[in-house]
Structure 1
Amino acid sequence: MGIITDTIREHRNKGSLSDPRVPMLRREWFAEKKVLDIGCNSGQLTIEIALRFSPRRIIGVDIDPVLISDANKAVSFQHSLLPPDKFTAHFPLDDDRMFRYFPRSMPMIFGNVAIVQLDNKEEECRFPHNIGFRESGDWTTEKRNEDGMYDVVLAMSITKWIHLNWGDNGIKAFFHKVYRVLGPGGRFVMEPQPWESYKRRSKMSEALDENHRKIQFYPQDFNEFLRNEVGFVSIEELGVSNNDAKGFRRPIYVFLKT
């Protein structure tokens, strides 16, 4: 069965680089680290993490090839808005002027600035060289050995779609794989959708509706399962994002692997 996802989930705060969830994240979790963003959509959050936190590498994964194409275009577009290298030192990392040095109209009129290959490996953590996107039909079951590869895994507003498409066993298998691909001391950052949001989306197809009716493992059970069954040693609730879109103010949790 092909997964059905919520193609409108990126419409929150659309057009703004500043994702309201980013201030809740900590730079030290990402700086010079390997990061996987599962269900990245069109890459807005992935790009902002790559820009602000300088991970060694961040990979965004999504099932939709159109969204992956959009994400790659967004990287090129955002790169075209950055100041020349000699001016970047004048802007703090949290200063949005650095990310909008040139007006959006510039690449629209003159085209995107070419991304030049690096000769200096020390600059590999700098955007846009530290980011990539790929399509994955079902990350949980794909034949790719990523065990212990990542320092951080993100699952933001995606658990509902995994749950509705593959049921209780599917979401549990997803959680176990997240644990496997994290290295020692790795972190899993999760923004789960609440149970009451499932019903409306389950009406998108008969298969989703049937899976919805069979669910016995609820989002409020996730934290206990991740700690007691999967093996994470601690859970931290970061709070609720200050999102201006209705239905998107959800708690975000961080799980630590020993």
Structure 2
Amino acid sequence: MAENERKEKKGKKTKAIPVYGNYKSYYNYRIGHDLKEDPRLAVLKKEWFEGKDCFDIGCNQGLITISIAKKFLCQSILGVDIDAGLIENAYWNLRRTAKMECASCRSVEASESNVSNRVNGLEEMVSASVNKETMHFPIDSSPAKEGGLVDRVSFHKENIVESLDACSEKYDTILCLSVTKWIHLNWGDDGLITLFVKIWRLLRLGGILILEPQPWESYRRKHLVSEAAAMNYHSIVLKPALFQEILLDKIGFRTVENITDNLPGSVAGFNRPIFLFRK
């Protein structure tokens, strides 16, 4: 039986064990109930995404992927996750968000139509007594609408450690948020290095990696989710404190910047530093 299909008994029901960190309600655990959006979005800059091709590793249900597309207007963004069920949920969230966006657009268009009708009516009223050449009515000069969410956002089931072997430069920005622990526990140090190398290969020259690694102490709480995780936990040498050195000195990133040490509004245990690496 595949690791991600392992079950544990709980009364008469079974509960899926998130071997890969593939929690079905991850965002509910992470985001405070009084927040409207993921607090990580507050530390991201539009210039890292606008008009760029982006890649979100371990996208879960796609909520932050979709939010980035909406808020920062990236040209494209692909979210990948090892769990097919989460990818299905991500597409459901994308369709729901796109419908809400369309409904909002229709409301704005209806309002603009009413304004246009009123302006036309005023033109007719004054045309009889005022020379129209002296009148000026505003013309809609707003820029054309960007491509819709469904045109810019996509999701795909993918095991990035065991696939994408022939990857080459495709992306300007890659997100790897709260993923490294699960790669580490399931594939050990070799899997982590494989992840970093593939990220490097997928980034265009000048591209950026936004990395949110889980701290080493959080590994202990999850190392018993599978036999592989328990075994790897005790053999890991490249602990999170070494990630910056590995990415700079071994993988080849030029610079690193800590973009936050504090995420106000984060649930306890999720207030983690986020780093930006430049290729």
TM-score, normalising length from structure 1? 0.81
The one-letter code of the counterpart of 1:197 is S
Q: Is 2:60 aligned against 1:33?
A: no
> Of residues 264, 267, 272 in structure 2, which corresponds to 1:242?
264
- Residue in 1 that maps onto 2:31: 13
The one-letter code of the counterpart of 1:198 is Y
Give 1:5 deviation, angstroms: 1.6
| Contact 1:17/1:48 (<8 A) preserved | no
Alignment of 1:195-234 (within 5 A): 195-234=216-255
Q: What's the secondary structure of 2:269's corresponding residue?
A: coil
| Contact 1:32/1:125 (<8 A) preserved | no
- Residue in 2 that maps onto 1:81: 100
Q: Is 2:176 aligned against 1:155?
A: yes
- Residue in 2 that maps onto 1:251: 273
| Contact 2:189/2:237 (<8 A) preserved | yes
Give 1:17 deviation, angstroms: 5.0
- Aligned counterparts of 1:31 and 1:189: Cα–Cα separation in 2: 15
- Aligned counterparts of 1:40 and 1:164: Cα–Cα separation in 2: 18
Percentage of identical aligned residues = 36
- Aligned counterparts of 1:18 and 1:10: Cα–Cα separation in 2: 10
- Residue in 2 that maps onto 1:129: 151
Q: Which has the larger radius of gyration?
A: 2
Q: Deviations over 1:19-58 (max 9, x none)?
A: 1000100101101100000000001110100101111110
- Aligned counterparts of 1:216 and 1:145: Cα–Cα separation in 2: 27
- Residue in 2 that maps onto 1:45: 64
- Residue in 2 that maps onto 1:139: 160
Over the aligned positions, Cα root-mean-square deviation in angstroms equals 2.1
| Contact 1:54/1:126 (<8 A) preserved | no
| Contact 2:79/2:154 (<8 A) preserved | yes
Change (3 A) 1:193 1:78: same
- Residue in 1 that maps onto 2:140: none
Deviation >3 Å, runs of 4+: 14-17, 122-126, 143-146
Residue-pair matches, total: 224
Which shows bigger deviation, 74-83 or 175-184? 74-83
Q: What's the secondary structure of 2:39's corresponding residue?
A: coil
Query: Any gaps of 5 or more consecutive residues in structure 2?
Result: 5-18, 112-143
Give 1:206 deviation, angstroms: 1.9
- Residue in 2 that maps onto 1:169: 190
| Contact 2:98/2:148 (<8 A) preserved | no
TM-score, normalising length from structure 2? 0.75
- Residue in 2 that maps onto 1:106: none
